[in-house]
Amino acid sequence: GFDCFFFHDVDLVAENDENIYECLEIPRHYSGYIDIFNYTLLYDTIFGGITAFSAEAFEKINGYSNEYWGWGGEDDDLERRTMDGAKYNLTRPAPEKSHYKMIKHDHEASNQVNPYRKKLLKAWKKHADFDGLNNLNYELIERNNDVFFKNITVDLKYSERIPLEQLLDEDEPILTDQESQDLDNYYLIMRSIIIFINLILIFYLIKNMKFFKKFHMKNKKKSELNGPSGEARRISLTRNIC
């Protein structure tokens, strides 16, 4: 069998022949520094492109999830399983030796964005133990042994995938990421409208409080001038004058 596994995007080419491909005891991410990203990490925990696992390490994390059909999410899920689940440290080769060139190509029309990738990633811990190597279902189509490589072609059983409700968190509605985003935007708009209405009401109350306060002060001064009884006050003034 094989004891070292490299998962390698076909559009990435190493620029330095000192970038040795080998499997260590702990998993390693190779493609952190790519030309189209100015050889800088897109984010600290990026784990896609090229990763290397020993057989033992790959079995420990239960491999990749089998449920990221379409583009996106599977590499971040793998990072969660590797770092958060199995508690491996994230390692990479020295940046100056691990530069890669990305070959330009058109996006595959059949490889559309996975509409549930964010929800699946959020719930990675729930399905990591039963979604991976231990439930991989496929049919072997062809095996070719060459001098320098072995090519194994399989048919993955898409029809036998795990239902979404078993993969997502219990309180997570079965909505696509776009539907969830639209719903969040709706709630955001509604909250903004409510806040705006509240601000108008507060402004109205403050304005009326100032009016009532001014009206009250005016009546108070008038009351002090007239006394408790306007007639008694006039009599008192008349007597003083006389």
Residues 189 and 212 in one domain: yes
For position 55, what pLDDT does the model report?
A: 97
Distances (CA, A) of 36 to 13, 40, 92, 140, 167: 12, 9, 19, 37, 34
- Domain assignment present for residue 20? The answer is yes
For position 7, what pLDDT does the model report?
A: 97
- Domain assignment present for residue 85? The answer is yes
What are the residue ranges in the chain where pLDDT is below 50? 232, 235, 237
Residues 159 and 51 in one domain: yes
Residues 196 and 168 in one domain: no
Residue 170 is part of a domain; what is its CATH number?
3.90.550.10
Residues 212 and 165 in one domain: no
Residues 118 and 27 in one domain: yes
For position 165, what pLDDT does the model report?
A: 83
CA–CA separation, 174 and 8 (whole Å): 32
- Domain assignment present for residue 223? The answer is yes
Which pair of structure tokens corresponds to residue 69?
Answer: 């059909």
Triad 108, 53, 89: Cα angle to 5°:
105
Residues 74 and 30 in one domain: yes
- Domain assignment present for residue 179? The answer is no
- The helix/strand/coil state of 86 is coil
- Domain assignment present for residue 73? The answer is yes
CA–CA separation, 62 and 157 (whole Å): 18
Q: Of the candidates 143, 174, 205, which is a domain's last residue? A: 174
CA–CA separation, 6 and 24 (whole Å): 12
- Number of domains making up the chain: 2
Left (φ > 0), alpha (ψ -120 to 50) or beta: where does 165 sit? Answer: alpha
Residues 207 and 94 in one domain: no
For position 229, what pLDDT does the model report?
A: 53
- Residue given tokens 């076909």 in the structure block: 10
Domain membership of residue 91 as a residue range? 4-174
CA–CA separation, 26 and 4 (whole Å): 11
For position 9, what pLDDT does the model report?
A: 95
For position 237, what pLDDT does the model report?
A: 46
Residues 103 and 166 in one domain: yes
The residue type at 210 = K
Residues 87 and 168 in one domain: yes
Q: Of the candidates 150, 174, 198, which is a domain's last residue? A: 174
- Ramachandran angles phi, psi of 218, nearest 5°: -65, -45
Triad 185, 190, 193: Cα angle to 5°:
125
Per-residue pLDDT tens for 61-106? 999 999 998 888 999 999 999 999 999 999 999 999 999 999 998 8
What single-letter DSSP state applies at residue 92? -
Decide: 180 and 168 in contact? Cβ < 8 Å. Answer: no
Residues 191 and 160 in one domain: no
Q: Where are the alpha helices (DSSP H) in 15-116?
A: 55-60, 74-79
Decide: 22 and 52 in contact? Cβ < 8 Å. Answer: yes
- Ramachandran angles phi, psi of 109, nearest 5°: -65, -30
- Domain assignment present for residue 41? The answer is yes
For position 225, what pLDDT does the model report?
A: 53
- Domain assignment present for residue 77? The answer is yes
Residues 128 and 55 in one domain: yes
- Domain assignment present for residue 180? The answer is no
For position 128, what pLDDT does the model report?
A: 95
Q: Of the candidates 135, 152, 174, which is a domain's last residue? A: 174
Residues 148 and 211 in one domain: no
Strand (E) or helix (H) holding 14: strand 12-14
CA–CA separation, 114 and 72 (whole Å): 6
